């Protein structure tokens, strides 16, 4: 499969994000985790790649099966509700 520079940039961006699982990259670009790692190694500076690998290795949010939540985003209980562009009071 041939990827455009735009696709490669998006894959790197998704891989860099802590909450985007490798399965999402696989679903969107049909690239398995090992290929994403090879792409990151090839396209990033060595020091950036090492920092990224240390950060994502074993991270539950990068693997769908290890996540503790099904869908959505984490929301702090102290975060105010936003409705109709106005912040509602508690």
User: Whose structure tokens read 């994502």?
Assistant: 56
Which tokens in the block code for residue 37?
Answer: 């790692």
Beta strands, E only, the chain: 82-83, 86-87
Is the pLDDT reported for residue 88 higher than 60? Answer: no
Rounded mean pLDDT, 72-90: 51
Is the pLDDT reported for residue 70 higher than 60? Answer: no
Which tokens in the block code for residue 70?
Answer: 């099904």
Q: Which residues of 53-82 are buried (b: 16+ CB within 10 A; e: fewer)?
A: eeebeeeebbeeeeeeeeeeeeeeeeeeee
Mean pLDDT of the chain: 77
What pLDDT, on a 0 to 100 scale, did the predictor assign at position 85?
46
pTM of the full structure: 0.64
User: From CA 84, how far away is CA 8, in angstroms rounded?
Assistant: 37
Q: Where are the domains of the chain?
A: 5-69
Give 24-45 pLDDT, tens digit per residue: 889 999 999 999 999 999 999 9
């Amino acid at each position: 499969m041939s990827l455009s520079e735009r696709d490669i940039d998006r894959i790197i961006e998704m891989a860099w994000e802590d909450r985007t699982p490798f399965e999402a990259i696989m679903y969107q670009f049909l690239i398995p985790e090992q290929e994403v790692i090879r792409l990151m190694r090839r396209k990033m500076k060595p020091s950036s790649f090492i920092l990224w690998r240390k950060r994502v290795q074993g991270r539950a949010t990068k693997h769908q099966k290890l996540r503790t939540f099904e869908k959505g985003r984490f929301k702090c209980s102290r975060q105010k509700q936003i409705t109709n562009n106005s912040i509602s009071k508690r």
